[in-house]
Chains A and B, each alone.
Chain A
Amino acid sequence: MPDLRLPALLGSTGFRLAAVYAALFAASALIVVGFIRIATNESLTRELDASIRADVDSLSERYRAEGMPGLILLIRNRTQGEERTGAVYALADPFGKMLAGNLREWPAHGLAVDGAIELPVERAGRRSVARVQLYSLPGGFRLLAGRDAEERIELRRSINEILLAGVALTTVLAIAGGYLFRRMVLKRVEAIRRTATSIVAGHLAIRLPAGRTDDEFDLLARTLNEMLDKIEQLMDGVRDVANAIAHDLRTPLTRVRARIEELSAGRLQGDEESAALEGVQAEIDELLRTFSALLRIAEVDAGAKRGTFAEIRVVPLLEDAAELYRAVAEDQGVALILKNDKDDLTVMGDGQLMAQAIGNLIDNAIKYGRDGREVVISASKQLGVVRLSVADHGPGIPESERSRVTERFYRGEQSRSRPGSGLGLSLAAAVARLHSGHLELADNEPGLLASIVLPGNAPA
C-alpha cells in the first residue's frame, strides 16, 4: 500500500504529480469561469445603458419642445401607475427639492459629475440598487434617469454561485483524478520497486513485469530487464572466472610452492638446483601469461575499447597475422592458405584485438589441426555480414562441446594434453562480442571451422 503519512506523501512523485495536475485543472477552470463572469456582466451593463439612453432621448426631446413643465409632466406620467420596466426617474430643483420622479428624495447629493453610476435608491418603499445617468439642466435643475439594476445584480449573484459551485466541483474532480492518476502511476512504479527489492535480496533470476503495450513503463521494464540479463551474464562470468582460477591457477602455484620449499630446504645440489630455479621461473612466466590473458579478456568484455574503434582493412590484417604464424605452421608441416574474394573489405574495430583474436584462431588451428596439413584463412562478406574464418582439417570439436569451448579455461577432451592456456577461444569470442558479433564454431567436415562473424561496416 502507498504510504499515506504527510511527509511521505509530499515526498512522493505520484502525489506531487497529482497535486500539480489538480492545481492546473482548477486554475484553468477558474480562468474560464472568470472570463464568463466578466463577459456576462459587461453585456448586461451595455443593455441597461442602452435602455437608459433611449429613455433620456425621449425626455430631452420633450424638454426641448415644451420646457421644464412638459418634462415634469412626462416624468409624472411615466411614474404613475404600475411599475413594469424598473425605470427610475428623478427631477430636482437647484436646492435638491424633488419636482418629479419615483424616488422619495434626491439621492445624488454632492454628485456633480454627469455620467453613469450605480446608486442605492429607495423606490416604491423598497431599497435597491439602480444604474443611473445624471444630467445638469439649465438653471441648476438636475435630472436623473436610470434602471433598477436589482435584476442584473441578482443574475450576477446566481452566476457567481453557479460558477463557484463549478470551480468547487472541478477541484474535487481534479483531486480525484489526480489521486487515480497517482494510483495508476504508483502501481507500476511500485511493481518495479518491489521486483528490484527482491533482486537486491538475492533473487537474481526475477524479471520485471513488462506488459504487451509499448508505453513508457513497458519500455522501461524491458530495458531494465535487458540490463539485468547483462548483469547476470557478467556475474556468471565472474563466477566462472573465480572457479576457473581456483582450478587452473592453483595447480601450477602448488608446483611452484613445492619447488621453492625443496630449494629452501637445501635438498638440491648444483645442476638440480639451477634446473629447479629455472623451472620455477618458467612456471611463473606461464602463470603471468595466463593472468594477462584473463585480464585482457576482462578488459575486452568491459567494452571500454569501443571508443577507439577505427576502420580496419580486413585483408591486410589477415595477411599480417598469417605471415606471423606461417613459419611455425610450416615447421609443423601445415600449409597456411589465405583466400579472400574482396580486397577492399573493411570493418570498424580495434585492430590489435582483432589481430590477436585471429592469431589465436590460427594458433589453435595449427596446434589442433596439424594432422590435416592445411589451414585455410578466409574473409567474406554476404548480406552485410563479414566473416573472418579459419578452417582446419584436424579432429574438430564435437557438437556437444562447441558451446563450452569459449568458456574461460575450458579445454576439450582431446586438447587437455596439449600446451596452451585454454583461453584462446575465450578471447576470440570476447573480441567478437566487443565488435557486436559472435564467434561461430562449425564442422569443417572434417575439422573445425571457426569464424568471427561481424555485422558489416557498422557495429553498435
Chain B
Amino acid sequence: MRVLIIEDDREVGLFVAKGLSEAGHVVDRADNGRDGLFLAASEPFDVLVVDRMLPGGIDGLGIVRALRETGNQVPVLFLSALNDIDERVRGLKAGGDDYLAKPFAFAELLARVEALSRRARQTGPDTVLRVGDLELDLLAQKAERAGKPIDLKGREFKILEYLMRHAGQVVTRTMLLEGVWNYHFDPQTNVIDVHMSRLRSKIDKGFEKPLIFTVRNAGYMIRA
C-alpha cells in the first residue's frame, strides 16, 4: 500500500514513515502543505496521513478540500494536536475520513490507516460477513459458527460486525468505542476489554481454532 505523510514535524514524520515501512507499506513524505498537495494530486496513493496545521500556505483542511474539489477520493486520516469534538467534525466535514489526535500510539495510527485503505476498496454493502466458519447475517441479525447459532445481544452483534468488516486488521479500543458506541471520549475503565472478553467467549469457546485475537499494545483482530 502506498501512503503519503504530510507532516511538518520531522520527528513525527520520520517516526510514522519508519513504522509504516516496517509494516510493509511504501511511504512518501512532504513537510509542507504546498509540496503535499502537489504530490497528492500528481501521484496515486492509497491513503494520505495529513497534519491539520502545516506551513507552505495551505493547511491540512485546505489540501483535502482542494483534492475533493478535483474529484480525488483518496482516503484521508487527519493528525492533529487539536483534540476537540468540534475540530474533529470540522476535519470530517472538509472531506477527511478519520481523525487522530496527537499524541497517539503508533499501533492506533497503523490500525486506522489500514482500516481506511480497506474502506476505500469496499464496494456496495455486504449482507453476509464471513470469517472462517463464522457467519454474520446482517439482514436477519443472526450469527452462527460452524452451523451452530450464536446468541448475541444487540451491542455484541455490532462489535462483531465491526471486527468482521475489518477482518485481518487490528481494531483498537478507541476505534471500537467510536465505531460501535459513537463515543469520542475516554471511558476511564477498561470497559471495551470486558465487552471483548464476553464476545470472545461466545465466539471461540468450545471451538478448537480461535478467531478473535488480542494484539498486544494495540487492540483486537478477527481472522480465520
Contact = CB atoms under 8 A, between A and B. Distances in A.
Interface of A: 281, 285, 288-289, 292-293, 295-296, 299, 304-305, 308, 320, 323-325, 327-328, 331, 350, 352-353, 355-356, 359-360, 363, 366-367, 420-421, 424
A453 to B, nearest CB: 22
Given A292-B83, A328-B194, A356 B185 contact: yes
Contacts of A308: 86
A292 B186 contact: yes
A363 B181 contact: no
Contact of B186 (A281, A289, A305, A331): A289
B119 to A, nearest CB: 23
Contacts of B189: 325, 328, 363, 366-367
A352 B188 contact: no
A295 to B, nearest CB: 7
B202 interface: no
- Among B84, B103, B188, residue most surrounded by chain A Cβ atoms (within 10 Å): B188
A359 B187 contact: yes
29 contacts: A281-B217, A285-B105, A288-B103, A292-B83, A292-B186, A293-B186, A295-B83, A296-B185, A304-B86, A308-B86, A320-B181, A324-B181, A324-B187, A324-B191, A325-B189, A327-B194, A327-B198, A328-B190, A328-B194, A352-B183, A352-B185, A355-B183, A356-B185, A359-B183, A359-B185, A359-B188, A363-B188, A363-B189, A424-B188
A290 to B, nearest CB: 10
Interface residues of B, number: 22
A292 B102 CA distance: 10
Nearest to B195: A327
Nearest to B183: A355
Contacts of A325: 187, 189, 191
| Ranked 4 nearest A-B pairs via Cβ | A327-B194, A356-B185, A363-B188, A328-B194
B155 interface: yes
A352 B85 contact: yes
Contacts of B84: 299
Contacts of A288: 103
Nearest to A360: B188
A360 B187 CA distance: 7
Contacts of B25: none
Given A328-B194, A420-B188, 10 more contacts: A289-B186, A299-B84, A320-B181, A327-B198, A331-B194, A355-B183, A359-B187, A359-B188, A363-B188, A366-B189
A308 B186 CA distance: 21
Contacts of B183: 324, 352, 355-356, 359
Nearest to B104: A288
B18 interface: no
Contacts of B185: 296, 352-353, 355-356, 359
A258 B189 CA distance: 27
B184 interface: yes
A380 to B, nearest CB: 24
Nearest to A427: B185
A420 B190 CA distance: 12
Contacts of A296: 185
A104 B10 CA distance: 116
A295 B84 CA distance: 9
A305 B84 CA distance: 10
Nearest to B84: A299
Interface in B168-220: 181, 183-191, 194-195, 198, 217
Nearest to B216: A278
A352 B190 CA distance: 19
Contacts of A289: 186
Interface string B74-97: 000000000111100000000000
A355 B183 CA distance: 8
Contacts of B187: 324-325, 356, 359, 363
Given A360-B188, A363-B189, A424-B188, A323 B85 contact: no
Contacts of A324: 181, 183, 187, 191
B157 to A, nearest CB: 13
A95 B190 CA distance: 131
A142 to B, nearest CB: 97
Contacts of A293: 186
A360 B185 CA distance: 11
A293 to B, nearest CB: 7
Contacts of A281: 217
A454 to B, nearest CB: 19
Nearest to A331: B194
B195 to A, nearest CB: 5
Contacts of A360: 188
Nearest to A323: B155
B4 to A, nearest CB: 27
Contacts of B184: 352
Contacts of A328: 189-191, 194
B175 to A, nearest CB: 15
A366 B185 CA distance: 19
Nearest to A351: B182
B131 to A, nearest CB: 23
A424 B188 CA distance: 8
Contacts of A285: 105
A445 B139 CA distance: 48
